[in-house]
Amino acid sequence: MSAPALPRYGSLEQELVAGEQMREQMREDAPAASRAASSLQWVRWTIGQPIRGQHCRISIMDAVTTPLRCFSEGHAAQMFADDGVETVTSVEQKKVERTIEEVFSVYKQIHSLPQPTLLREQHYQYLKKGLRHLSDAYECLDASRPWLCFWILHSLELLEEPIPSAVASDVCQFLARCQTPTGGFAGGPGQHAHLAPTYAAVNALCIIGTEESYGIIDREKLLDFLWSVKQPDGSFVMHVGGEVDIRSAYCAASVASLTNIVTPTLFETTPTWILRCQNWEGGLSGVPGLEAHGGYTFCGTAALVILGKEHMLDLKALLRWVVSRQMRFEGGFQGRCNKLVDGCYSFWQAGLLPLLHRALFKEGESELSRQRWMFEQQALQEYILLCCQNPTGGLLDKPGKSRDFYHTCYCLSGLSVAQHFGNMDLHHEMIVGREENRLAPTHPIYNICPDKVARALQHFHRLPVPEDTRQAPPPRAGPASTSADPRS
């Protein structure tokens, strides 16, 4: 079989066109068709080659004879075997597996039909309350308040719960107070600008998606802030005087591309620096020379996709690393080799698979599936639905842990990735449990819903890219240029 034609999609401008086509279709079509179009337009650039007549929805609910994976014979054989060598981590791993085995077993005793349910109403109530009131336990996140806005708003959009306009406006006004006079957003009013809350604030404002929310972002000053944290080697520090790591490159690339302030030199040599973070394991680390890690790997890969350089990664090594992070017994993902399963990696790791699918397609891989991502989507959904839901709302790391907004956001984001494969013409859903478990799809680069990405791009691409003639200073000679590089 000859390799399929390379996709013609790929640039942000093309997403803009796709967004316009989507809205056109939404005006013309019935609600069901428009929902599919709006939710899946991003994959238009992901796979790029439609197959007519393959709109398809698989629901495990419809096939009650299909057993849950965790109830199948032989599932217990997937448990960890230490081969008689006990270590601190092997003991912890076995402890977690026993807890999860207990959860599966209790579920099996109570339910005659395997229909795990997403506790939508409970999650909605938990999230709604969090927008207005947080318990004392969140005091430690006083420097991460835009994150709380993003985690809650994104969770609500995945649940397809509208945000009342008065609440949206209050969030806008709060985030406006977090924007600093020198550009970028801080973790709270009166604090210093930092790339992480800047990413969270811009994402939250794009989810709200109103003229008011877009108008809050001072794009010229945001560009000044990005230059103030850019380093001579292409990396970024998280804040002025702060640490370098790969999250900063992603946060910078994400906000700059969404708000249309990417200038010719802003990301010069950034891809080269990110590529140095891919190590012998296949995943990426926070800085060159360290251990591969799910969160950092997502950030580095997504940043390279934005900058159009993902083909420079060793894609096959990355694929092998990430699929090996899905736990055989639990079904969820671990963040690093030899670590325990954690619900938040449902997005940081599983979210890599759409990026890899697209990258490998662009490289001419002809054997890629047109129905599934390259991980066990059913197993991940079972882990999230059975092991990560607090019965009174909110999601969590693993059984026994408490709920929080971070894990709620990333468990739901991962569940969405596991439910949706497809593009505008090739659309395949796999919903474990009831039909009502279906979440809205999420954009695998920005992790906000695809129609919000299209709308933001359309808004900001009407505005000119700010004038910018700045250049990064040349790299200093000496030790800085000979940092630990696994490729050197």
336 given a catalytic annotation: yes
77 contact partners, CB below 8 Å, separation of at least 6: none
**CB 404, min distance to Zn ion, A:** 9
CB of 109: closest distance to Zn ion in angstroms? 28
Choose between 16 and 415: whose C-beta lies nearer to Zn ion: 415
* Rounded (to 5) percent helix, strand, coil in the chain: 50, 5, 45
Annotated catalytic residue within 245, 342, 425, 451: 342
Catalytic annotation on 407? yes
Residues in 79-98 at the binding interface with Zn ion, rule: CB under 5 A: none
Number of residue whose CB is nearest Zn ion: 344
State yes or no: residue 344 binds Zn ion (CB under 5 A): yes
Options 15, 224, 233, 342; binder of Zn ion; rule CB under 5 A: 342
Q: What residues from 417 to 456 belong to the interface with Zn ion (CB under 5 A)?
A: none
Nearer to Zn ion, 245 or 397 (CB): 397
For residues 45 and 348, which CB has a smaller minimum distance to Zn ion in the complex? 348
Q: Which stretch binds Zn ion (CB under 5 A): 109-117, 167-175, 334-342, 472-480?
A: 334-342
Q: What number of other Cβ atoms are within 10 A of residue 106's Cβ?
A: 11
In the bound state with Zn ion, the residue whose beta carbon lies nearer, of 366 and 402, is 402
Other C-beta atoms closer than 10 Å to the C-beta of 300 total 32
Q: How far is the CB of 339 from Zn ion (least distance, A)?
A: 10
Q: Where are the alpha helices (DSSP H) in 365-482?
A: 377-387, 405-419, 450-460
Candidate segments 55-63, 281-289, 339-347, 424-432, binder of Zn ion by CB under 5 A: 339-347
Work out how close the CB of 45 gets to Zn ion at its nearest, in angstroms, rounded to a whole number: 29
What are the b/e assignments for 90-99, b being 16+ CB within 10 Å?
Answer: eeebeebbee
Query: Tokens standing for 110?
Result: 């109570």
CA angle 256, 262, 266 (to 5 degrees): 100
Place of tokens 């699929």: 323
Q: 397 vs 429, which CB is nearer to Zn ion?
A: 397
End-to-end CA distance of the chain: 38
- Select from 169, 105, 104 the least CA-distant residue to 131: 169
Binding map of Zn ion across residues 405-424, x = CB under 5 A, - = no contact: --------------------
Q: Which of 218, 245, 404, 451 is catalytic?
A: 404
Cβ–Cβ under 8 Å, residues 313 and 302: no
With the C-alpha atoms ordered 374, 379, 380, 381, is the resulting torsion angle positive or negative? Answer: positive
Based on CB atoms, which residue is closest to Zn ion, 179 or 297? Answer: 297
**Is position 344 annotated as part of the catalytic site?**
yes
234, 232, 256: which is closest to 246 by C-alpha? 234
Least gap, CB of 199 to Zn ion (angstroms)? 18
Spatial distance between the Cα atoms of 208 and 145, rounded to a whole number of angstroms: 16
- Least separation, in Å, of the C-beta of 92 and Zn ion? 15
Rounded Cα gap, residues 155 and 203, in angstroms = 12
Which of the ranges 24-32, 230-238, 341-349, 376-384 carries the binding residues for Zn ion, by CB under 5 A?
Answer: 341-349
95 is annotated as an active-site residue: no
One-letter identity of residue 67: P
The one catalytic residue among 44, 398, 407, 452:
407
CA atoms lying within 13 Å on the CB side of residue 26: 14
- Give catalytic status of residue 345 as yes or no: yes
Catalytic residue among 126, 214, 250, 345: 345
Please give the Cα distance from 38 to 23 (Å, whole number).
8
Minimum CB distance to Zn ion, residue 463 (Å): 37
Selected range binding Zn ion among 137-145, 370-378, 397-405, 476-484, rule: CB under 5 A: 397-405
**Residues designated as active site:** 293, 336, 339, 342, 344-345, 397, 404, 407
Q: Residue numbers of the site for Zn ion (CB under 5 A)?
A: 342, 344, 397
